[in-house]
């Protein structure tokens, strides 16, 4: 994680700086942002990355899925942006159009005080 909230992911044997799709990271970074990432790193589980957009000369905007739990049908993966919204660490991006925008708004409204 960088100071501006961009993420550094290991992809295809190299590092790639990406931005979370659908959200804006306030500056300076809220403490909740770092706390969420510390909890995820303690899990020691890999994350999944789905590229949502990005051109050659710009940072990719990605959806990050983290391991939630396992049930009888298999692994359950959760959207990191939803967790960050609930924790008050990010805001819904009003400049982006994306299919889950209303779901993101609902999670932002349900955020912890």
Domain boundaries, the chain: 7-109
pLDDT digit string (tens) for 70-93?
Answer: 899 998 999 999 999 999 999 999
Residue 101, SS3 per DSSP: helix
Residue 14 forms beta bridges with which residues?
11
The candidate with the shortest Cα–Cα distance to 101, out of 109, 92, 91, is 92
Contact 49, 75 (CB under 8 A): no
pLDDT score of 12 more than 80: no
* Model pTM score: 0.86
pLDDT score of 105 more than 90: yes
pLDDT digit string (tens) for 27-47?
Answer: 998 999 889 988 888 888 888
As a CATH number, domain 7-109 is: 2.40.50.90
Higher-confidence residue: 3 or 88? 88
């Amino acid at each position: 994680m960088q100071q501006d909230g961009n993420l550094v992911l290991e992809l295809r044997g190299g590092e790639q700086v990406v931005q979370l799709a659908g959200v804006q990271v306030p500056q300076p970074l809220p403490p909740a942002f770092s706390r969420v990432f510390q909890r995820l790193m303690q899990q020691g589980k890999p994350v999944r990355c789905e590229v949502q957009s990005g051109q050659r000369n710009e940072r990719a905007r990605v959806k990050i899925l983290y391991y939630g739990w396992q049930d009888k049908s298999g692994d359950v993966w959760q959207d990191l942006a939803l967790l960050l919204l609930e924790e008050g660490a990010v805001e819904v991006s009003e400049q982006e159009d994306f299919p889950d925008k209303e779901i993101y708004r609902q999670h932002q409204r349900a955020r912890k005080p």
